[in-house]
């Protein structure tokens, strides 16, 4: 059995082994963390505030969840990472004993940009809760994540819209590199892994430079950031090609942050991505949209009011086993809380089931047909050209 492991720091609290497959750069792997093992490619449901919205840890287990994501920024503001530490850490606090990866707050630099100010030392935010000022630096991001006790922490990074002027994209990338080194220097917990994040927008030269800088550091894993933030599908694929090529021979686990949609999984898996996280499955579920191999459907649409069938005939989740589309359509119209939970149960089950089918497809050669069926039905309703570049922040 050939593995591509290596490059991991000798004292890494995680281990990762992977096998190449016949499909592009896709690989099958196994990530072992202090709280459990993760089969890759794998998807992490997002639980920003110590909860995957509307789902219990039991729901997550039933859906096949192996690892979830929590958030430094939100949890440090409320309830506070010191409090979570006093209460036994994030796993115990939220009742999830499986692996947890925490995001560093870097994305909030981007999404809450107008509430904050970035300088070389760190970020100053106005809290979205009460407007009070808060400071986040690479050292603080590590300190907070160590207090939370996640299995995997993320380095603090800065991402900008790829449509910004090149000098801004480059400046954010250089800041990310400097912060990466400071995060590594600030680590104090040997039982927590730390991933570095590659930036550089959609510029191939900057991406290569960023991969070189981040991959040279003793991180336990490599994340690809700054994508799925407004660039086209073609730009995302091309950028993933550049990153994969530059990472060739690096055996560490690779995590594409903020992706995605069913179609995007295939694009990224074929380019060597092992881990994903995204709010999409749970967010669209709360807004009435559920996914199946036949595509997307909005259960708020009138045509489902008399539809007595399940969301998905092929799904064994609680929603599909026990309830009809008509029932869900009713619950959404009546603003009943169960609608959010059942739709989320289904979408997480579908997404994790899709990842499982991707893994088995890679193993038994049926990957291509799976990709063709799913991507055909899950093409974005929006044409590429409909999405204008974001120019303000």
Partner RNA sequence: GGGUAGGUUGAGCAGGUGGUGAGCUCCGCUGACUGUAGAUCAGCCGUCUUUCGACUGUGGGGGUUCGAUUCCCUCCCUGCCCA
The residues assigned a catalytic role are 103, 277
Assigned token pair, 345 = 């149960």
Whole-number minimum distance, CB 222 to RNA, in Å? Answer: 12
Name which of 161 and 293 has its Cβ closer to RNA. Answer: 161
Name which of 221 and 353 has its Cβ closer to RNA. Answer: 221
Whole-number minimum distance, CB 50 to RNA, in Å? Answer: 12
Q: How far apart are CA 7 and CA 251, in angstroms?
A: 6
Q: How far apart are CA 89 and CA 69, in angstroms?
A: 14
Assigned token pair, 7 = 């490059």
Name which of 83 and 303 has its Cβ closer to RNA. Answer: 303
Residues that bind RNA (CB under 7 A): 46-48, 52-53, 69, 71, 74, 103-104, 106-108, 110-112, 114-115, 128, 154, 157, 159, 197, 199, 223, 225-226, 228-229, 257-261, 264, 277-280, 282-284, 286-289, 298, 300-303, 305, 333, 335, 337, 340, 380-382
Assigned token pair, 136 = 């986040």
Q: What is the DSSP string of 20-36?
A: E-SSTT-EEEEEEETTE
- Quick check: bond before 274 cis, omega within 30? no
CB 380 within 8 A of CB 289: no
* Distance, first Cα to last Cα, the chain: 49
The residue among 225, 180, 228, 229 whose CA lies nearest residue 206 is: 225
Q: What is the DSSP string of 310-338?
A: -S-TT--SHHHHH--HHHHHHHHHTT-HH
The residue among 38, 48, 43, 47 whose CA lies nearest residue 18 is: 38
What is the side-by-side order of every strand in the sheet holding 36-40? 15-20, 27-33, 36-40
Name which of 17 and 227 has its Cβ closer to RNA. Answer: 227
Name which of 247 and 285 has its Cβ closer to RNA. Answer: 285
Assigned token pair, 282 = 């749970």
Whole-number minimum distance, CB 196 to RNA, in Å? Answer: 10
Residue 328 makes CB contacts below 8 A (sequence gap 6+) with 290, 299, 304, 311, 319, 339, 342, 343
The residue among 66, 65, 54, 69 whose CA lies nearest residue 104 is: 69
Name which of 17 and 195 has its Cβ closer to RNA. Answer: 195
Whole-number minimum distance, CB 229 to RNA, in Å? Answer: 6
Name which of 17 and 198 has its Cβ closer to RNA. Answer: 198
Whole-number minimum distance, CB 342 to RNA, in Å? Answer: 13
Whole-number minimum distance, CB 2 to RNA, in Å? Answer: 31
């Amino acid at each position: 059995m050939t593995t591509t492991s290596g490059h991991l720091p000798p004292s890494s609290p995680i281990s990762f082994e992977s096998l190449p497959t016949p499909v592009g750069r896709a690989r099958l792997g196994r990530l072992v963390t202090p709280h459990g093992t993760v089969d890759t490619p794998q998807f992490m449901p997002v639980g920003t505030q110590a909860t995957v919205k509307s789902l219990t840890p039991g729901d997550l287990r039933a859906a096949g969840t192996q690892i979830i994501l929590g958030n430094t920024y939100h949890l440090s503001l409320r309830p506070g990472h010191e409090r979570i530490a006093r209460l036994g850490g994030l796993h115990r606090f939220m009742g999830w004993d499986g692996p947890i990866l925490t995001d560093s707050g870097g994305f909030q630099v981007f999404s809450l940009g107008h509430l904050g100010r970035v300088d070389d030392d760190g970020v100053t935010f106005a809290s979205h809760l009460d407007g009070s000022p808060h400071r986040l630096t690479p050292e603080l991001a590590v300190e907070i994540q160590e207090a939370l006790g996640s299995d995997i922490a993320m380095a603090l990074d800065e991402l900008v819209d790829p449509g910004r002027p090149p000098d801004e994209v480059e400046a954010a990338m250089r800041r990310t590199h400097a912060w990466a080194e400071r995060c590594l220097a600030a680590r104090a917990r040997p039982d927590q892994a730390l991933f570095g994040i590659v930036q550089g927008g959609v510029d191939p030269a900057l991406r290569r430079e960023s991969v070189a800088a981040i991959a040279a550091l003793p991180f336990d894993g490599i994340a690809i950031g700054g994508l799925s933030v407004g660039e086209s599908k073609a730009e995302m694929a091309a950028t993933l090609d550049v990153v994969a090529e530059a990472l060739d021979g690096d055996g560490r686990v690779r995590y594409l942050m903020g992706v995605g949609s069913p179609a995007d999984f295939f694009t990224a898996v074929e380019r060597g991505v092992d881990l994903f996280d995204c709010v999409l499955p749970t967010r669209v579920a709360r807004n009435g949209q559920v996914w199946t191999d036949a595509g997307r459907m909005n259960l708020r649409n009138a045509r489902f009011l008399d539809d007595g069938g399940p969301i998905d005939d092929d799904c064994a989740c609680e929603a599909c086993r026990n309830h009809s589309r008509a029932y869900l359509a009713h619950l959404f119209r009546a603003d009943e809380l169960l609608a959010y939970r059942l739709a989320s149960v289904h979408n997480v089950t579908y997404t994790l089931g899709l990842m499982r089918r991707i893994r088995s497809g890679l193993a038994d050669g049926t990957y291509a047909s799976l990709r063709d069926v799913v991507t055909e039905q899950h093409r974005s309703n929006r044409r590429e050209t409909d999405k204008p570049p974001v120019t303000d922040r």
